[in-house]
Chain A
Amino acid sequence: MIPFIILAVIAIAGALGVILGRQPVHSALALVGNILALAVLYLLLSAEFLAVAQVIVYAGAIMVLFLFVVTLLTAGKEEGEPPEELGGQRWWAGIFAIGVGVVLAVLAITHPGSAVNTGIPSNFGTIDGLGHLLWGPDFLYLMAVAIMLLTAAVGILVLNRPMKRPRVSRPGRRES
């Protein structure tokens, strides 16, 4: 129980750091802390392959992509948060989201549910067990995600194609 409490505190601190960070790069670093805490938590929940995938895909690929974009867009700028235009947007967002979070957390903690104790298979959480499911009964989902990733790649290429009439014409700079 003690490791769970430590990890939960780290994860919640990272989550709060993401939404309270003044600069996007601070938020990105806090998100890395959150993701790593969750990865260790996956290990405690005997999901070894997913813990490794979480570190590689999230903390490796996705956060590096985020940091690249943050450096590309905000380097050397001290740009604060744009002013809010909807009246009291932050207050209402906080009130509603905290209400939803409190209700969900109280329901989750007070209704643990009853486990069907069928015994953990020996390959539970390993890449072996996951592969047997993904290439067996759940093959359709795997193909759906594969098609979605392909579509996303094509979409990114379409979004980043050179524009025919560049609006910001700066010599020597590629428009992307």
Chain B
Amino acid sequence: MIPINFVVGLAAIIFAIGAIGVMARRNPLIMFMSAEMMWNSAALAFIAFARQWHSMSGQVMAFLIVGTAAAEVGIGLAIIVTVYHRRHRLDIDEISGMKG
């Protein structure tokens, strides 16, 4: 059995890399992929804890994370495509008009 602390450490590293991607890149597609990576690392931590504590609630949460990520990707890509059709640029600042 893999020690849980290394799995959670791996999840933390992937989460940090995803956070760098979200904050440093300006292409909305790449920012979305980085956000997907952050969801994935959270699911990995949940599954590792489920294995360690022999309780399947963590796996239920990981399953819900997969569903939430699917909804998020659908909405996000629809917004990106809509904005691109109006502005014809792939830049996250084009979406700053959404701030209400």
Contact between chains at A41 and B7 (CB < 8 Å):
yes
Whole-angstrom distance between the Cβ of B68 and the nearest chain A Cβ: 7
Cα distance A145–B57 in the bound complex, in angstroms: 16
Interface SS of chain B: helix, strand, loop or mixed?
helix
Within 8 A of B (CB), among A1-48: 1, 4, 8, 11-12, 15-16, 18-19, 21, 24, 27-28, 31, 34-35, 38, 41-42, 44-47
Interface SS of chain A: helix, strand, loop or mixed?
helix
Whole-angstrom distance between the Cβ of A99 and the nearest chain B Cβ: 9
| A169 on interface, CB distance cutoff 8 Å | no
Q: Mark A145-173, 1 if CB is under 8 A from B, else 0.
A: 10011011101100110000001100000
Contact between chains at B90 and A74 (CB < 8 Å):
yes
A-B contact pairs, 24 of them (CB 8 A): A15-B17, A18-B17, A18-B34, A24-B27, A44-B2, A46-B51, A47-B62, A50-B62, A62-B36, A66-B32, A73-B81, A82-B91, A92-B23, A93-B19, A93-B24, A108-B8, A117-B54, A121-B56, A124-B56, A125-B56, A141-B64, A148-B71, A156-B74, A159-B79
What residues of chain B have their CB less than 8 Å away from a CB belonging to chain A? 2-21, 23-27, 29-30, 32-34, 36-37, 40, 43-44, 47-48, 50-57, 59-60, 62-64, 66-75, 77-82, 84-86, 88-91, 93
